[in-house]
Amino acid sequence: MERVMVICALAMVAACANAADIDSASADTHVLRARVVGGATPIEVLKDAVVKQAKAFCEKQQRVVKVRTSDASPSADRTGTEVRVTFSCLAADDPELRKN
């Protein structure tokens, strides 16, 4: 059942977020926001789905994702949830990847 929820969450987030939804905060730090209507999917599942999108974004650049922050809050109109992930795309040998 959990696997089905993850697949559904990925599909919902993929439909709501794309590369155009990624804002650059600095040279290698980005913010990805996704809004999902309704509340049937647990927030952690939604966050995981957004992190997977961030990972795919970095992989297209042949880099590795490092999640800086992730949070979720009710959408402005209170009809769903907005998930926000701040992340960096780093070289595979970047020492920053070893830091927690």
From the CB of residue 77, how many other CB atoms can be counted at a distance below 10 Å? 8
Radius of gyration of the chain (CA): 14
Interval 28-40: pLDDT, tens: 799 999 888 776 6
Task: Count the alpha carbons within 13 Å of 18 in the hemisphere toward its beta carbon.
Answer: 3
Domain boundaries, the chain: 2-98
Q: What are phi and psi of 46, to 5 degrees?
A: -65, -45
What's this model's pTM, rounded to 2 decimal places? 0.73
Tokens of 24: 């650059």
Distance of CA 85 to the CA centre of its chain: 5
Per-residue pLDDT reduced to its tens digit, 75-86: 777 778 889 999
